[in-house]
Each structure stands twice: as structure tokens, then as C-alpha cells.
Structure 1
Amino acid sequence: IIKNNGNSKNFKSLWVLKQLFENQLPNIPRSYITRLIFDKNHQSIILVNFEKKKFQIMGGCSFRLFKRQQILELVFFAVKTKYQAKGYGSYLLMLLKDYARFHGFKTIITCADNNATNFFFKQGFSPTISVPKIFWSGFIRDYEDIILMEFTISSKFNYVNLSYFLFSIVFL
């Protein structure tokens, strides 16, 4: 988990993540990506590959925590094109789900465009928002031409262990 806390390593990682989001999410204004990535209220998870001793970001997500509402808002989510359809996005999302579970959050809410809805459906997200709007309205943005989607966190389920199990089945 990285965030803008004044640490130069974190800043460099966030800068590379910002570039990934700009490339993979071309419909989102660059100024908006920059503002949210470096906002001190947002955190990020980065999936890294150390190919030939070189640090390379494979994918990442940025999110904001609403502790009182027990909601995690997934703001940006992207995987580099060459790593897509190989399970890395699913693994990244499982890491986020476990982070939310570990910190006592009940719900992940995200905005999905037409390109992302199938991915989020496959990951267990639903377009039916069970959290009453009064709890998230004014905190979580609801944009035009997108679908607001929700994932309900199970406090008893370890999502990362599931991913290890699924990867071992795929690669046996």
C-alpha cells in the first residue's frame, strides 16, 4: 500500500502508476488522475514485476477509505495491456478485497464504464447497490455513462488464499 506521504520512493511509484492510468484509462482527464493519485486521502496498491532486475509496474489500483460508512471506493483500476487476461487483474482485486476485509470495511464501490463492467461482474461485483444512498451520496461520485457497482466483503473469507488456490489449479 502506498500513498502520498512525502516519501520520495512513494512519489516515484505514484508517478509511474499515474502514467499507467493515463495510458490505460484515456477517457479520464489527466488532471483528474493526477489530482486523485497524489491526494493524501487516496491510497494505492501496485502490482510489480522485477524482470531482469528492473522494476516494472504491471498494474495498480487507487482507492479511498470512508471509515465511518465502512466503504472503500475503488477510484482507478488498470493492468498494462501485455499483462491483461492472465489473472493479474483478478489477483490485484483480491488483494484489495483482503485489504478491505482486514481493515473492517463491508463494501467496495466503484464506477465501471462499458469496457470494465464484465471484468467487475466476473469478480463478484453487482450493479445493485445495497448500501442506502444516504450513506455514500456526497462521498462517492456517480458519473454519467457509467455503472456504479458494489462488492460486499465477507469478513470470514480470505480472498488472497483463494487466488493462490486458483492459480495453482491453473498452472498444474
Structure 2
Amino acid sequence: MKLGLFLSLLFLRQTHFKGNIKDKQASTIARYALEVYQLVQSSTLSRQRNGIDQSNHKSDSITAGYNHLEATSSGFIARRATSPEDMAPPNTQNPQKQNPPKRKATEEPPTTPVTSKRVKMNEEELGEMLDSQNKQCPIKIIPFPEKPAVIEEREGEIEFRVVNNDDTPQSTVILSGLKGIFQKQLPKMPKEYIARLVYDRNHLSIALVKASPLEVIGGITYRPFDERKFAEIVFCAISSDQQVKGYGAHLMCHLKDYVKASSNVMHFLTYADNYAIGYFKKQGFTKEITLEKSLWMGYIKDYEGGTIMQCTMLPRVRYLETGRMLLKQKEAVHAKYSPLANQM
């Protein structure tokens, strides 16, 4: 028994390191080794009965059995090696599924054409392409609508007037109308306080009025400090039934252009309540105060619960033209890129 196991292990060890067999072939070779072992055993018993030397018989039996086993297994391996499965390289990760060889870059052409990729164009090529498309399909420019305040001013329905208490009847009527709007739109302010500042000769007001009949619908009261180059916006309000028409923004643009053209003022300061912060932000005001405190501290009125905000004007900008310039820019951008948007 020990001799048979020794033969089987010896042959399996030699053939395994040679790389001639696989796991599937091991069982077949072991079966042949067992047959050789049985053959050797039967031969040994017959020789013992006939009185033959045991030592000589062992060497002959081992040699004959090993030759028989090697010849048998070699034939088996030769037959198995002709199949495509054994000819393929082994797959260590998944023996049952062989990985296909990787394709080289030069073996096959790309499935997608190179022309399908988006080509980068410079500004000249893009301009030529857009011009050719515009000739084929003329663009119909859709103008962006203007604010009602701009249209009404152009048609003469509303006017903007700068007034102060100069004892003229027309100025008195306009200031009285402003006082009433401020008292109605700013209920937390004392009425006497509003009246005193509106009629104060150190304060100026720009009023939004309807031409006929004369009716005040909004305005701004401010106090300029020419030597310190800033002005304080004291009151700003539009009548409640005239809001959401762009009157407030248009009124602020008039104020900026007038103050910049008539004085040395380049900055505005104001105290805004929580409801007015959003409006002032849209008009270019910010909570970051860049003016030195020595210029304005003690000169402007401090309101409890208000937030101080600042606006710095640009010298070369005409604020009444900003809306028109933005509309033209929007129209130009829309006209230039609408053909590209239609192709996507």
C-alpha cells in the first residue's frame, strides 16, 4: 500500500511541476497509478510463492510500473492537449470563463467618426458662421419691454421736479404733497418730525408728479453736505397705489444724476428699515461703509432699529441711461446667440 501511494505522489509531483496536467487530469492519472499498484502487488505475491528474491523484484516492479504509468498518462495528456480549451492560456481568476485578449489601438478603426466631435472655433470663425446663419434665417429682434416709469416720462405723463422751501406757491404745494405721502408710508415716524424736515431749508426734495392735474405720487428728501462730499437720504417713499411700476428705481436714478451734476457729492448715506433694505440694495447701496466715521458721525440722523447703508456713485456713469444700455445689451446677446440655441 505504501509503495502504491509513493508511486502516485512521485508521478503527480513530477508532472505538476512540468505543467503538463490540470486538476481535471489528476484524478485520471491517480486511477492509472492505482492500477499500476495493483499490478505490482499481484506480481509480488506470485513471485513470493515461487521463491524469487524480494529485493530484486521491488526494483523491477517499480521500474515497470513507472514506465506503464508514464506511457499511459503521456498518451492521455497528448489527447487532451489538442483541444482548444487546453491550448488557451489559463485564467487564474475565473477558470471557467477565459478573458478575451485586449484589442490594440491600431487593430480596429474607431466606431464613432472623428468629425462628430465638437470643433473649437475662434471669434472670427464664430462670427462668420453666425453671419451666414443670419443671412439664411433673418433674426427678428424682440425688444425687451421698458418700465412704465420710463415710458410715461417720455410721453410726458409724469415729471421729476427738484424743490425746496423757497416760499413759492408751487413749491409749497409739492412739499405738502410729499409730506402727506411720507406720513402715510412711514407710520412709525412722528408726523411733526416729518413736516419739520420736509420744510427745512437745508433739505432738498426731488418729487415725482403727474403733469395734469398736478399730483404728487412719490419723492425723496435729502440733505447734502458739499464740503464732506456726501448726502443723507432722509425720506424715500412712493404712494401705495402707484408702486410696482418702476417709479422708485427711476426716481433714484434722477436723484443720482442731479446730485452728481449740481454738487461735489459722490456718496449717499441712509438709515433703512427692514422693509427698505431690499430696495436700497437694488439701487446700489451696501451695508459696508467705506467713508470715514469722522466725515459723517454726528452729521446724519440716527434711527433706532435702522441699518445704515452707503452708495458710492461712479463719475462717468449716467444713471438714467443704465436701463437703456442694459436693454440694448440684452437684445444684442439674444440676437447673437438665439440661432445657436435653436440648433441645440
Do the two structures share a fold, i.e. TM-score over 0.5? yes
Distance in 1 separating the partners of 2:301 and 2:275:
19
Residue 83 (structure 1) aligns with = 242
Distance in 1 separating the partners of 2:196 and 2:176:
11
Gap change, CA 1:10 and 1:166, over 3 Å in 2: farther
Whether 1:72 and 2:231 are equivalent positions in the alignment is yes
1:127-138 to structure 2, matched below 5 A, reads 127-138=287-298
Question: Which protein shows a greater Rg?
Answer: 2
Greater share of strand: 1
Distance in 1 separating the partners of 2:186 and 2:328:
31
Q: CA RMSD in A?
A: 1.8
Residue 98 (structure 2) aligns with = none
What SS does the corresponding residue of 2:228 show, helix, strand or coil? coil
Please, what TM-score do these two structures have when normalized by structure 2? 0.47
CA drift of 1:142 comes to 2.2
5+ unaligned residues in a row in structure 1: which ranges? Answer: none
Whether 1:153 and 2:323 are equivalent positions in the alignment is no
What SS does the corresponding residue of 1:68 show, helix, strand or coil? helix
After TM superposition, what 4+ stretches of structure 1 lie above 2 angstroms from structure 2?
Answer: 163-169
1:19-98 to structure 2, matched below 5 A, reads 19-50=180-211, 53-98=212-257
Residue 279 (structure 2) aligns with = 119
What SS does the corresponding residue of 2:284 show, helix, strand or coil? coil
Q: Which residue identity does 1:19 align to in structure 2?
A: G
Gap change, CA 1:165 and 1:47, over 3 Å in 2: farther
Given that residues 91 and 163 in structure 1 are in contact (C-alpha distance below 8 angstroms), is that contact kept between their aligned partners in structure 2?
no
What SS does the corresponding residue of 1:145 show, helix, strand or coil? coil
CA drift of 1:164 comes to 4.6
5+ unaligned residues in a row in structure 2: which ranges? Answer: 1-161, 330-344
Distance in 2 separating the partners of 1:155 and 1:165:
17
Q: Which residue identity does 1:142 align to in structure 2?
A: D
1:4-15 to structure 2, matched below 5 A, reads 4-15=165-176
Please, what TM-score do these two structures have when normalized by structure 1? 0.92
CA drift of 1:161 comes to 1.6
Given that residues 14 and 37 in structure 1 are in contact (C-alpha distance below 8 angstroms), is that contact kept between their aligned partners in structure 2?
yes
Gap change, CA 1:168 and 1:4, over 3 Å in 2: farther
CA drift of 1:109 comes to 0.6
Match among 226, 246, 259 for residue 100 of structure 1 = 259
Percent of paired sites with the same residue? 36
Q: Which has the higher contact order (CA 8 A, sep 6+)?
A: 1
Match among 124, 143, 147 for residue 303 of structure 2 = 143
The count of corresponding residues between Structure 1 and Structure 2 is 168
